[in-house]
Structure 1
Amino acid sequence: MKQFFVTATDTDAGKTFVSCALIHAFTHHNKSSTNELMKVAAFKPISAGCELVGGQLINEDAKLLSEFANSGQSIAHINPIAFEQPIAPHIAAKKENKQITIADINHHYQQVKSLNADVTLVEGAGGWRLPLGEMTVLSNDNAEKSSDNNKPSYQFLSDFVKETNLEVILIVNMKLGCLNHALLTYETIKADGLNCVAWIANCATSDPMNNLSENITELEKILPIPKMAQFDFIADVNEEGKDVSYFEKISHAANQINLSVLV
């Protein structure tokens, strides 16, 4: 069984689109020892920006993940921590007098792992250092450091990844500044003691990046990990004037993924 964490150079980098494409690629990939297709579970521990439907907060990204994963999960199982306001999750939690803890996230993650899927894909939120809020329980060392600089100690979603030792897939949002963002994110992941196994170039918006191919070539040189896919932006209407469904976009993207890097 393999477990991966999908992160990105910044927010709105297309994490859900890429995650759905990865899931679609995996679920149409045969296991090495049999002709059976792989079972994939999805986990999006935290979301902010949800719609209240039948008394349940539904995040659109989590809903999309549920449509591609094939391990029989409910949306709540995929996305257990959800907030209605589309703001930073730890700020949304504070407004509701709630806390987001690594222990809670890990508890929900273990429930997903118990499905024993061939692949578990965890989609992050925001970038690598998504804050979860101030730590309420500090070790003596942390308490001493906190009092020294008069600033609170924070926990981050990356702390969960460190605790579970997930392999990381990095999405690079192809826009001005991506070279710096990609290298800084990769170096931070490595400094955290984790294995960043591959990166994906994603054109997340319809506004094309100037010198796209040159920037991808530079990223291939400076990132010491394989590029497993490059996704161009796919419009909702094609050149023939026909609507392009989300499933068609995902299917097209999945066909471009080199899964041999991961399996």
Structure 2
Amino acid sequence: MAKKTYFIAGTDTDVGKTWVAAGLLAAANGKGLSTMGLKPIAAGCEHTAEGLRNSDALLLQNTASIQLPYEQVNPFSFEPPIAPHIAAMEEQRMLSADRIAALCRGALMQPADFAIVEGAGGWRVPLSHRETMASIPKQLGIPVIMVVGIKLGCINHALLTAESIARDGLRLAGWVANSTAESMSCYDENVATISSMLRAPLIAEIPFLQELSPEAVAQYIDIDKLES
């Protein structure tokens, strides 16, 4: 497995998890590290000549310095933008944490300095009626980076997600405050409250960016603050 491998979890959907993941890869690239990005499950894919493709998975594939085949980056692709377990049931496919983790391990066997595995949705998004997204990092035994979308309700979402990560026996290596809107009332107070109530370091405060790119996000990330 890569020297440093992290699972990227969001406190909810649409909190900017993929852009933060790509920014982490770009930040590591900027330090001369070899990088790898995986998004094992993706819903909301488009039909292409090469098969189903997901824009988030493509972003990670293209940002990473180690170019993996798409099927290794995103082995489970679904067309409808719905919960992955529902999309899988509609196609009569089964999502298993064992299988997903095994595929991730296979990809992560390539030598890399820095690798990320991005989840789908929030920490408790189901894979089936018995397993959730949290089962994947548990199987892999890797620390978590939590992306918090700074909006109304973010304190509760952040603390509940952090509690769940700890309850599942995993370590929160760092968290990211990501602005999902141009302005928010009491932004500083919200970030300060979360920081004071989490033991993990704040590795980035990312403002609302009109033009997104992995490099634009990377300039706000300090990967040296990550707990290994």
**TM-score of the two chains, using structure 1 as the length reference:** 0.83
Q: Residue type matched to 1:46 in 2?
A: I
Aligned position for 1:196:
172
- Residue deviations 1:135-155, cap 9 Å, x none? xxxxxxxxxxxxxxxxxxx11
Q: Residue type matched to 2:204 in 1?
A: A
Aligned position for 2:30:
28
CA shift, 1:164, in A, is 1.2
Equivalent-residue separation in structure 2 for 1:252 and 1:3 (angstroms): 22
Structure 2 residue 130 is matched with structure 1 residue 175 = no
Which one of the candidate residues 58, 63, 66 is aligned to 2:58?
A: 63
CA shift, 1:157, in A, is 1.5
Which one of the candidate residues 90, 93, 114 is aligned to 1:119?
A: 114
Equivalent-residue separation in structure 2 for 1:184 and 1:107 (angstroms): 28
CA shift, 1:55, in A, is 4.5
- RMSD across aligned C-alpha pairs, in angstroms? 1.2
Contact 2:38/2:61 (<8 A) preserved:
no
CA shift, 1:110, in A, is 1.5
Equivalent-residue separation in structure 1 for 2:46 and 2:61 (angstroms): 16
Aligned position for 1:231:
206
CA shift, 1:205, in A, is 3.3
Q: Residue type matched to 1:217 in 2?
A: A
Contact 2:85/2:126 (<8 A) preserved:
yes
Contact 2:98/2:139 (<8 A) preserved:
no
Equivalent-residue separation in structure 2 for 1:96 and 1:55 (angstroms): 19
Equivalent-residue separation in structure 2 for 1:109 and 1:70 (angstroms): 17
Equivalent-residue separation in structure 2 for 1:163 and 1:183 (angstroms): 23
* Count of paired positions: 225
Equivalent-residue separation in structure 2 for 1:64 and 1:4 (angstroms): 17
Structure 2 residue 149 is matched with structure 1 residue 185 = no
CA shift, 1:104, in A, is 1.6
Q: Residue type matched to 1:111 in 2?
A: G
Describe the SS at the equivalent of 2:166. Answer: helix
- Residue deviations 1:145-203, cap 9 Å, x none? xxxxxxxxx11121121121111001111010111110111011001111001110001
- Which of 1 and 2 has higher RCO (CA within 8 Å, sep 6+)? 2
Q: Residue type matched to 2:120 in 1?
A: A
Structure 2 residue 199 is matched with structure 1 residue 258 = no
CA shift, 1:255, in A, is 1.5
Equivalent-residue separation in structure 1 for 2:13 and 2:74 (angstroms): 18
Aligned position for 2:35:
40
Aligned position for 1:16:
18
Aligned position for 2:136:
160
Equivalent-residue separation in structure 1 for 2:222 and 2:67 (angstroms): 26
Q: Which runs of 4+ in 1 moved over 6 A?
A: none
Contact 2:149/2:177 (<8 A) preserved:
yes
Describe the SS at the equivalent of 1:126. Answer: strand
Equivalent-residue separation in structure 1 for 2:50 and 2:25 (angstroms): 28
Which one of the candidate residues 186, 206, 209 is aligned to 2:184?
A: 209
CA shift, 1:204, in A, is 2.1
% identical aligned pairs: 37
Structure 2 residue 28 is matched with structure 1 residue 3 = no
Aligned position for 2:99:
104
Q: Residue type matched to 2:71 in 1?
A: A
Which one of the candidate residues 58, 81, 85 is aligned to 1:90?
A: 85
In structure 2, stretches of 5+ residues that fail to align are none
- Residue deviations 1:110-149, cap 9 Å, x none? 1211112111101111000110013xxxxxxxxxxxxxxx
**TM-score of the two chains, using structure 2 as the length reference:** 0.95
